[in-house]
Amino acid sequence: AIVCEGQLDLITLFEAGIQNVVAPQGTAFTAQQAHVLKRFVREVVLCFDSDTAGQNAAERSLEPLLQNDLVVRVVEMPADEDPDSLVRKSGRQKFDELVAAAPDFFDYWIENKAATSDLNSLSIKMQIARELAASVAHVRDPVMRGEIMNKVSARLSIRVGDFETLVKRGEHNRPVASVSKVGPPVTAPSHDVAMLCLLALRSEEAHAFLLEQNWRDVLAHVPGADLLIRILEADLRPDDPASLNLFQTSLTSYEESLVSGWLLQKIPANPAAVVRGWWSGLQQAILRRELEAAESRMRLPNLTTGEIMQLQKQVLDLRSQLHDVLRFSPARVHES
């Protein structure tokens, strides 16, 4: 994929027939954007403006791209040019030639440093090595990391072992990942909730039906419904893979594994009917639990007259609600 800096660049490239192109909403690629892009491509070609701001944006984009084990190359734009102006002046062929010749990011980075620094100076060389090592520390894939370390060491004329030591120091200096992004939730979703999650993720009809219900009030009483609530709160569309991929980037590793499993499961042949059956069953289970709890409290000793009357009213209300749910409930449709 080609990553350019601005929307005008993207539009011009797309109009020229180059469709494997994206543009971040800002001056650098974010971790979330890189995570989404990883699902579709293995290599990214950065195509930012030739000015200092563009070069800085390319450097800032490196960390999230490397963290997702994406191979990164950089198009060397002519002075005072950007993708939009280049394609308009010289045509698509010239742009394609620059993309084909785009060097690896680390080659590009070293060449830029060599043009402005004296690599014969040991102190400058070590400073550059430390900066590069901090970037290489973000690469998780061992094969990719090894290749980069060999290449950088050769370009700087330093021993691979010495550079690897710097990379390991960079690993220790990285911020520890937030605990909130790992581990399962306190309560795993029940089969009923998991089925509703599957339907909400895979069927437009089921998703729309659930959004029409008083789902916030109902799910507030359901243990393990956190992920279903997040699905219904999210701006996702079951028929749009990009929308689903973007939603997954907001999940913990455990939640993402659940969602990935649901997305691979076979969807019921009649999701509109199935979702109504499961939703009704969930409502019935909640009302029965509340009714049982209210009836149990009525058997407690030493209740005041006011408390007894309040519990009697609650029991009657719950029985009426349960009757209505049963009366309008479709027969539970088998999900397979």
Q: Give the pLDDT score at 321.
A: 73
Q: Give the pLDDT score at 99.
A: 92
Among residues 256, 184, 233, 200, the alpha carbon closest in space to that of 36 is found at 256
Q: For helices 52-67 and 105-116, what crossing angle results, to 10°?
A: 140
What b/e readout covers 57-95, taking b as 16+ CB neighbours within 10 angstroms? Answer: bbbebbbbbbbbbbbbbbbebeeebbbbbbbeeeeeeeb
Of residues 148 and 208, the one with the higher pLDDT is 208
Q: What is the pTM of this model?
A: 0.49
Q: Give the pLDDT score at 187.
A: 59
Q: Give the pLDDT score at 316.
A: 87
- pLDDT more than 70, % of the chain: 88
pLDDT at residue 96 tops 90? yes
Instruction: Please state which of the ranges 94-98, 166-170, 328-332 shows the lowest mean pLDDT.
Output: 328-332
pLDDT at residue 327 tops 60? yes
For the stretch 230-254, pLDDT in tens is 999 988 899 888 888 888 888 887 7
Report the alpha-carbon angle 131-135-138, nearest 5: 150
Q: What is the mean pLDDT of the segment spanning 166-182?
A: 57
For the stretch 131-172, pLDDT in tens is 888 888 888 778 888 888 888 888 888 888 888 888 887 665
Instruction: Please state which of the ranges 10-14, 84-88, 255-259 shows the lowest mean pLDDT.
Output: 255-259
Return the CATH number of the domain spanning residue range 2-102.
3.40.1360.10
How high is the mean pLDDT of the chain? 81
Q: Place 119 in a pLDDT band, splitting at 50, 70 and 90.
A: confident
Of residues 130 and 185, the one with the higher pLDDT is 130
pLDDT at residue 80 tops 50? yes
For the chain, give every domain's residue range.
2-102, 108-173, 191-328
Q: Give the pLDDT score at 199.
A: 93
